[in-house]
Structure 1
Amino acid sequence: MNKHKSLLTVDALSVSFTMESGTVDAVKSMSFTLEKGQTLALVGESGSGKSVTSSAVMGLLPKNARVSPTSKIWFQGTELLALPDKKLRQFRGGKIGMIFQEPMTSLNPYMPVGEQVAEAIRCHRNLSMKAAMEETLALFERVHLPDPRKRLRHYPHEFSGGQLQRIMIAMALANKPDLLIADEPTTALDVTVQAEVLALLKEIQAEMGMAILFITHDLGVVRHFADDVVVMCKGEVVETGSVEKVFHQPENPYTRMLLDAEPKPAVRDDNSTSPLILQAEDVRVNYVLKSNWLGQPTEYLEAVKGISLQLRQGETLGIVGESGSGKSTLGRALMQLLPSTGDIAFEGKNMNQMTASERFELKRHMQMVFQDPFGSLSPRMTVGDIITEPLTVFTKMTRAERMQKARQVLHEVRLDPHSINRYPHEFSGGQRQRIAIARALIFEPKFILLDEPTSALDRSVQLTVLDLLKDIQRKHNIGFLFISHDLAVVRAISDHVMVMQRGEVVEQGTPDQIFDHPQQAYTQRLISACMLIEDAA
């Protein structure tokens, strides 16, 4: 294919990073072409070089990155790597749009989201602010953002993870690009919204003739969405071809391993006689939406509406539901991170009646893994210091002892134990999530709240992490509250499942009852959307 006729041609791309420990080759002589209207998926595990490739196309590589002089990236006949930054900015956001993996770190926390999308429009087109805001409203409606006109004035922290990702998709499509680079665009979305967004992207692609470079670790989405596939492993291309060929006749063992990596329901232990570790009765959480001039609340949003639950030692309770259903809000209320009404008891003792010292000691036994690993890891601390920070508060271990413990936990979550002196920004999204899990596990607590702990992980790594969590749970009798939109993962790890919608529990039972014999229409819709993504060819 002539590089000047193809929409995008990547020719012998090699990218390395200069680190304190030496040079790391992230992408090794990678080549592919992308035609107008085509969807090409880059697939591989975290650290395979997928996101580095997309960053190179956008000219967004960090300062310590080095692109080989023999590398070429042609877009519509223009060699992007040869352009000065000022000219490259004309392509970014205009002819080439990008949806980033972590929306919270990509949006300005000090600006309303409507203004941010309007700003992206005005950077490339001579429009008034009013006209740009009207276009932004239309985009918000198109990506199914709830109450779009009202949400124009809201800030990023006022949205759920899935809603933030929809805003990022709206921003990427704002200037009708010829090429859309989608870096894990559905990672933070629940299955129903994921299916809607994929259908939306396909619809817009058909209208505009837009090409899509789709980067993901979710092979179910690739099978449903892409035309062709490039499989990457450790910076190299190991297999290419049509979706039909790669999925039905994979030639490389690595590709076969990726296709076989699907969470399977496990044999569950009987914990019905185990002591209760966590109890909640009629828990309610309200958010203040409006206040009068005296600062008194006048309008509320009831995010959690009288939920009760029980969790026994060694048991896992899975909570599923769409973005905005109240899953994470409930979890934060149980962890005492949000004010709530109702009774919450840990090991039989009401938290509202605990003394200050008892509350402090409780932190040792209750840990949490947050949904956004980048936001929960300090960029100024090394991985070793991040993981061992709890040990400095509750133990008298020496630094050498703490670092040795950190190496052991990193090894358990399949990260290089020698990476304790590196910083969070030096890791991929999936690797950062494993660091967050390691930090929660280092204390061997009695209870762990896992809020979307595997959403950023590849399927093969998900299996490893799920097995790790199960092993640790059996060994130490830990109770897990597992919040996720990934139904396959929830089924694989949970003893009981609660389905939430708009702050309420609509259905609960064993995984077999919920997934094989759902009673409520909402649960049936969630499962149907999941099957659509997994089974579509």
Structure 2
Amino acid sequence: MSEKQPLLEVNDLWVKFKMDTGDVEAVKGLSFTLEKGQTLALVGESGSGKSVSSSAIMGLLPPNGSIPEKSSIKFLGDEVLTMSEKALRALRGDRIAMIFQEPMTSLNPFMPVGEQVAEAVIIHRKVSKKEAMAEALSLFHKVKLPEPERRINKYPHEFSGGQLQRIMIAMALANKPDILIADEPTTALDVTVQAEVLKLIKDIQAEMGMAILFITHDLGVVRHFADDVVVMRHGEKVETGTVEEVFTQPKHEYTKMLLDAEPKPQQRDQSEKDDLLVVNDAKVRYVLNKNFFGKPTDFVDAVKGISLRIKQGQTVGIVGESGSGKSTLGRAIMQMLPYTGDVSFAGANLETLGKKERFNIKRDMQMVFQDPYGSLSPRMTIGEIIAEPLTVFTDLDKKQRLDKARKALAEVRLDPLSVNRYPHEFSGGQRQRIAIARALILEPKFILLDEPTSALDRSVQLTVLELLDDIQKRRNITYLFISHDLSVVRAISDHVIVMQHGEVVEEGEPEQIFERPEKEYTKRLIDACMLIDDIAVA
């Protein structure tokens, strides 16, 4: 560390939230410093207090949050915690800027993106709207937003996730901040887009000399992006040091556990089995516009003639970037949207089945969605949620259904006595287990898993993958596993399909796909993981 005054000094930070059930201490005595040009990573699992700490620095705690007088947050020697609201507003977005995890919830959906960035310029600088829009356009060029002149007046919903994150970066850089706080800025992005965004942030840091406080649960990113690391757990700092020190000689058991949480390929069953699911020449077309007579005039082919076979007890993984058609294909297989082609399950063509037969076969085909919080009703207890399919497909009474729900909870390693609790009372990993229990309650032969681990911490991902593998071995269940996370797909799959623009680019066993890819697109996906390694050198 230099002898100059740090940009940011956090000393003995405590943050408490007043809840109906009592006070919760989210941050407990956190201390660290951040200097000009330095990249410091705050790492830890969900609930570790890292995002709460950044909110405290920005003065953005909710009304029920409080910080005691003994805590201190200083920016260039000035105490932030005693600043007036006016002084805080001047600091935020000007000297300290922030990029949030989910840009769609941070941008105004009713305002063109150019105007939103220009607004950030106008608030902190005495410039005209014309000058501010010119500055916004310049920033869009800097963050390499495609066709900025044409798209400056577009709305947020007209951009992809990676493009929205570039717009958020442009807004954060609008006033050339001294510190950029990046709170999980790449968690929901494809691996190729993630690498591009991280390189962009690193390049701009080198050009502007700003400091970065990088908040993430992804240690793979930290290793090649940060200079120093603070590891947090349950609101406390458990370890700190340079990236080299923490990653090569971790001292705390929790740090060692995080470093060991990378999914590893398992020994797969190589025995010959019968086909359970056969898809032949599946096509899905979305109509975008119709003429006056209702005839389609504009459409997009989301799935273009895909064929695949999945054997009983096998796991087939589908990888590809957003927009590749992998989730659309999954929904077509589950009969959730119109398609052409043939989908056969256990030897029966689903299109030719009668209404009653199609209803009965749904018992054997279940699905787990990406966001369990969005797919679990907040008004129902988890016992009611898990047992709900039994009310449709069985004649069991309420007590019998609840007994089966308890057994399903035990199978996914949750407390059977928690049947009367609600989804909001569980962590993200626990909610995903509840969603898996709901899919298992009917004892299906096949489960479609659509990005089931993408929003989870690495250690929680590992637990969920081990759980799925254990259940598959005991029940001989077949999985179709859709994800953009290559390490997760490699760990769980017997066979891997790579999709791009609605087509199969390459397929084969995991070892062949990941060690000896033949197609350029597959190589690019795999190289994108390695590209993060080069960011530190760039």
Q: CA deviation at 1:485?
A: 2.0
Q: Equivalent residue for 2:311?
A: 312
Structure 2 unaligned residues grouped into runs of 5+ = none
Q: CA deviation at 1:534?
A: 5.9
Q: CA deviation at 1:296?
A: 4.2
Are the counterparts in 2 of residues 178 and 210 from structure 1 also a CA contact under 8 Å?
yes
Once residues 308 and 20 of structure 1 are traced to their aligned partners in structure 2, the CA distance between those partners, rounded to angstroms, is 53
Q: Equivalent residue for 2:72?
A: 72
Q: Equivalent residue for 1:189?
A: 189
Q: CA RMSD in A?
A: 3.6
Q: CA deviation at 1:258?
A: 1.5
Shifted more, 313-322 versus 71-80: the winner is 71-80
Q: Equivalent residue for 2:207?
A: 207
Q: Equivalent residue for 2:532?
A: 533
Shifted more, 303-312 versus 412-421: the winner is 412-421
Once residues 150 and 354 of structure 1 are traced to their aligned partners in structure 2, the CA distance between those partners, rounded to angstroms, is 49
Shifted more, 143-152 versus 348-357: the winner is 143-152
| 1:175-223 Cα shifts (integer Å, max 9, x gaps) | 4333222222121222222222111100111122222111112111101
Shifted more, 466-475 versus 57-66: the winner is 57-66
Once residues 390 and 534 of structure 2 are traced to their aligned partners in structure 1, the CA distance between those partners, rounded to angstroms, is 45
**CA shift in 2, pair 1:535/1:196, >3 Å:** closer
Matched ranges for 1:323-402 at <5 A: 323-378=322-377, 387=386, 389-391=388-390, 393-394=392-393, 396=396, 398=398, 402=402
Q: CA deviation at 1:343?
A: 2.3
Q: Equivalent residue for 2:32?
A: 32
Matched ranges for 1:442-453 at <5 A: 442-453=441-452
Q: CA deviation at 1:105?
A: 4.0
**CA shift in 2, pair 1:405/1:241, >3 Å:** same
| SS of alignment partner, residue 459 of structure 2 | helix
Matched ranges for 1:46-445 at <5 A: 46-85=46-85, 87-108=87-108, 116-117=116-117, 119-125=119-125, 136=136, 139=139, 142-143=142-143, 161-270=161-270, 272-276=272-276, 278-292=277-291, 296-378=295-377, 387=386, 389-391=388-390, 393-394=392-393, 396=396, 398=398, 402=402, 405=405, 409=409, 412=412, 418=418, 421-422=421-422, 424=424, 433=432, 436-445=435-444
Report the AA paired with residue 282 of structure 2.
Answer: V
Q: Equivalent residue for 1:519?
A: 518
Shifted more, 312-321 versus 323-332: the winner is 323-332
Given the alignment of the two structures, is residue 468 of structure 1 paired with residue 467 of structure 2, yes or no?
A: yes
**CA shift in 2, pair 1:294/1:83, >3 Å:** farther
Q: Equivalent residue for 1:18?
A: 18
Once residues 120 and 319 of structure 1 are traced to their aligned partners in structure 2, the CA distance between those partners, rounded to angstroms, is 41
How many residues align? The count is 535
Are the counterparts in 2 of residues 15 and 25 from structure 1 also a CA contact under 8 Å?
yes
Once residues 256 and 167 of structure 1 are traced to their aligned partners in structure 2, the CA distance between those partners, rounded to angstroms, is 36
Q: CA deviation at 1:93?
A: 3.5
Once residues 245 and 165 of structure 2 are traced to their aligned partners in structure 1, the CA distance between those partners, rounded to angstroms, is 31
Once residues 146 and 251 of structure 1 are traced to their aligned partners in structure 2, the CA distance between those partners, rounded to angstroms, is 45
Q: CA deviation at 1:524?
A: 1.6
Are the counterparts in 1 of residues 118 and 133 from structure 2 also a CA contact under 8 Å?
yes
Are the counterparts in 1 of residues 408 and 440 from structure 2 also a CA contact under 8 Å?
no
Are the counterparts in 1 of residues 319 and 486 from structure 2 also a CA contact under 8 Å?
yes
Q: CA deviation at 1:158?
A: 5.8
**CA shift in 2, pair 1:111/1:526, >3 Å:** same
Q: CA deviation at 1:510?
A: 0.4
Q: CA deviation at 1:505?
A: 1.1
Report the AA paired with residue 40 of structure 2.
Answer: L
Are the counterparts in 2 of residues 223 and 536 from structure 1 also a CA contact under 8 Å?
no
Structure 1 unaligned residues grouped into runs of 5+ = none
Report the AA paired with residue 268 of structure 2.
Answer: R
Report the AA paired with residue 26 of structure 1.
Answer: A
Shifted more, 493-502 versus 301-310: the winner is 301-310
Once residues 488 and 202 of structure 2 are traced to their aligned partners in structure 1, the CA distance between those partners, rounded to angstroms, is 27
**CA shift in 2, pair 1:322/1:121, >3 Å:** farther
Once residues 431 and 121 of structure 2 are traced to their aligned partners in structure 1, the CA distance between those partners, rounded to angstroms, is 32
Matched ranges for 1:471-510 at <5 A: 471-510=470-509
Are the counterparts in 2 of residues 98 and 181 from structure 1 also a CA contact under 8 Å?
yes
Are the counterparts in 2 of residues 383 and 420 from structure 1 also a CA contact under 8 Å?
yes
Report the AA paired with residue 475 of structure 1.
Answer: R
Once residues 170 and 196 of structure 2 are traced to their aligned partners in structure 1, the CA distance between those partners, rounded to angstroms, is 14
Structure 2-normalised TM-score?
0.86
**CA shift in 2, pair 1:159/1:242, >3 Å:** same
Once residues 270 and 239 of structure 1 are traced to their aligned partners in structure 2, the CA distance between those partners, rounded to angstroms, is 43
| 1:484-519 Cα shifts (integer Å, max 9, x gaps) | 222111111001001112221111000011111111
Shifted more, 460-469 versus 347-356: the winner is 347-356
| 1:240-293 Cα shifts (integer Å, max 9, x gaps) | 0010111111111211222122211111013532341x2222222233444445
Are the counterparts in 1 of residues 15 and 28 from structure 2 also a CA contact under 8 Å?
yes
